[in-house]
Amino acid sequence: MEALLAEHERLSKSGTLSKSLHDIQNTIDLLSKARDSIAANPDQTSMELAKLQNPVKSSFEDVHKGLEEVRKYHNKYVRLLDKKFKDKTLPEMDYDALSSQAALINRAIAMHLLREGQFSVASTFLSEATRNQSPDAMTDDLTMSGTEHDLGIDSLKSESLRKQFANMYHILHEMKVERNLMPAIEWARGKSAELDRRGSNLQFELGKLQFVWLFVGSHLPNGRPNILEGRERALEYARHEMSHFRPRYLKELQQLCGAIAFCPNLQQSPYRRTFLNNDAWDDIATVFTREFCSLLGLSSDSPLYIAVTAGAIALPHFSKLQVIMKDKRTEWTTEHEIPVEIPLPPSYRFHSIFVCPVSKEQATDQNPPMMMPCGHVVAKESLDKLSKNSRFKCPYCPNESHPKEATKLFM
């Protein structure tokens, strides 16, 4: 892998067209100069064209030489890629769940482009994606209401959702690049009611980071830290802007103010992690993105990115499964359930899984988990077998109940 990385670095530095572009520009300048001379004095046309012959020829040779060098680097890099990542036959599936859902796929792609701030690309994609799509197909695939309706193909063409994402990227730019939290604080202040209903602590975390930023003196015009002046401005900010956080975040506010006693030596203080945390800005940007998208009815990460990443993780397992099924002459018989466990990271697990303690089978929509009055849970098929439509004893405690008293659980 080291050789591939080294070649990639070499390609990024030397395998560019910058030299060829420079040579082409020189040729254009020569031709433009000759054109102006001929226009000014048409009698000198033959002489000007003769003077151009050698410089233009030399320039074309330089361009060709530069392109040959770039092609050499690219060919070497491609050979290393082919050697490192050998071509493998992808698993073949007779059943394609998305073959009839073109509108949903287009919507996911368009939403991903909007979330990434590629507004012009998203606009072009939407116009081309809907050019040949019938209105009936769009209506069937995208019948939604409320916020979900705003995510349909038609509504993605409007400016409302684009303005929302443009505002989000503006706030993130100010936060990450300019170290300016005020746009985010103003946005959170305007959405305080919605954030409070969600139990979000974004407002306090933004105010806390603003306090820390003022405290360490990062706001000073000369760029040099001034802890004493920073401390005064941080306390002034806390008095005017953070007093309303006292009922819910009293302990955290006491810790922020307690750092004043360690002002000359924060590096060795108990508050070092709070005031000298290099990841604080990235962390608050992540929290802001999550809350912003949540108020739009969206996940913090792009669904398309998650689906593609999960597919890339699962692909080697499906490839191995295909080889095993071919050797053993077996078939994949479950259309809506995969026959192997895919080791996805915890952040990619969005649905709980219930395995019946009696039958040891995983619950499905047809065989959902059922909770008995005693609180124990079994699968519906196990419940039917245990009860036989009459009162029965719970297999895990002495309580008796009737199957009609069981409650269906939704995972």
The string of pLDDT tens digits covering residues 251-262 is 888 888 888 778
pLDDT at 174: 92
Q: What are phi and psi of 370, to 5 degrees?
A: -125, 130
Write the CB contacts of 96 (distance below 8 Å, at least 6 apart in sequence). Answer: none
pLDDT at 142: 41
DSSP 219: T
Q: Which two tokens stand for residue 202?
A: 């974004």
Tell me: pLDDT of 299 over 70: yes
Euclidean distance between CA atoms 6 and 15, whole angstroms:
13
Mean pLDDT calculated for residue range 331-349: 72
Mean pLDDT calculated for residue range 320-326: 79
Q: Which two tokens stand for residue 287?
A: 């929290």
Nearest to 96 by CA among 365, 338, 335, 326: 335
Tokens 């009815």, residue? 297
Nearest to 203 by CA among 154, 159, 252: 252
Q: Which two tokens stand for residue 240?
A: 């005017």
Q: Over the chain, what is the mean pLDDT?
A: 81
Mean pLDDT calculated for residue range 213-242: 74
Lowest average pLDDT, out of 58-67, 132-141, 154-163, 199-208, goes to 132-141
Residue 62, strand partner residues? none
Q: Pick the residue with more confidence: 397 or 102?
A: 397
Contact 396, 372 (CB under 8 A): no
Q: Distance of CA 354 to CAs 64, 340, 363, Å?
A: 65, 16, 6
Q: Where are the alpha helices (DSSP H) in 41-98?
A: 45-84
pLDDT at 17: 78
Lowest average pLDDT, out of 93-97, 172-176, 258-262, 293-297, goes to 93-97
- Taking the C-alpha atoms of 291, 295, 299 and 302 in order, what is their torsion angle to the nearest 10 degrees? -90
Euclidean distance between CA atoms 227 and 222, whole angstroms:
13
Euclidean distance between CA atoms 197 and 194, whole angstroms:
5
Q: Distance of CA 277 to CAs 136, 159, 266, 280, Å?
A: 54, 38, 12, 6
Position 348, amino acid: Y
Q: Pick the residue with more confidence: 14 or 346?
A: 346
Mean pLDDT calculated for residue range 376-381: 91
Confidence band for 224, pLDDT divided at 50, 70 and 90: low
Residue 370, strand partner residues? 378, 408
- Exposed, middle or buried by CB within 10 Å (0-12, 13-18, 19+), for 136? exposed
Euclidean distance between CA atoms 16 and 70, whole angstroms:
6
pLDDT at 59: 85
Tell me: pLDDT of 157 over 80: no
Position 142, amino acid: L
Tell me: pLDDT of 134 over 80: no
Confidence band for 51, pLDDT divided at 50, 70 and 90: confident
Tell me: pLDDT of 232 over 80: yes
Contact 120, 105 (CB under 8 A): no
pLDDT at 189: 92
**pTM, 2 dp:** 0.57
DSSP secondary structure string, 353-409? --B-TTT--B--SSS-EEE-TTS-EEEHHHHHHHHTTS-EE-TTSS-EE-GGG-EE-
